[in-house]
Amino acid sequence: PMKQLEKILIPTDLSEHSRRAMVYGCWLATEQKASLVMLHVANEFHAWEFCSDDLSFVQLDGKWPVDRVLAEASLDLSRFLEASMASLKKCATASKRVVFGPVAQQIAAVAEEEKTDLVIMSPRRHARLRHWFFGSVTEQVTRLSPCPVLSITEPLPSKPWRGKFGEILKWPRARTDSI
């Protein structure tokens, strides 16, 4: 028999791709009566954004304003979750966490710390140059995670038949001959 899920972790980058994982995770948590943890990992790129917007709080010693980055990321996560509050309220318990650091490592660390039974992610389909060298975040989390990782992707549209097989397998068309 399959183990009953008690806690599900859903990392989000606040994109529509990750919303797909959240919708599925909310449904699964409701079905399993499991706790849900929504995680957003803020990283150095967020710090660059904030520092370029407002140079007044860049310190001369080169330290990033991590507390400001975490506060902003927490607000961003709250805004992202607002659209799904009805689904989140159906879960036994739902909480949110924001951490700072390398994304894949932080997701695996939180999965370990929270003792989650499942991580649900929704990767992007397009590959970037970084993906070819380092792999996707989902692949990295799958390697590092202490629990199973479920990848939810958008279905690809089916392609029409092409070539000779396409002609052979088509239904015979009714002919309309002019009289």
Integer Cα distance of 6 and 33 in angstroms: 7
Answer with the residue of higher pLDDT: 155 or 76.
Answer: 76
In the structure, what pLDDT confidence band is assigned to residue 117 with cuts at 50, 70 and 90?
A: very high
Question: What is the pLDDT confidence band of residue 157, given thresholds at 50, 70 and 90?
Answer: confident
Give the C-alpha separation, 29 to 97, whole Å. 17
pLDDT over 70 at 82, yes or no? yes
CB 9 within 8 A of CB 111: yes
Terminal C-alpha separation, the chain: 69
Kindly report the pTM of this predicted structure: 0.75
Please tell me the predicted confidence (pLDDT) of residue 175. 54
Mean pLDDT over all residues of the chain? 80
Compute CA distances 176 → 47, 75, 99, 172, whole Å. Answer: 68, 65, 68, 12
Residue type, position 165, single letter: F
DSSP code of 60? Answer: T
Please, what sign has the CA dihedral across residues 41, 43, 46, 51? positive
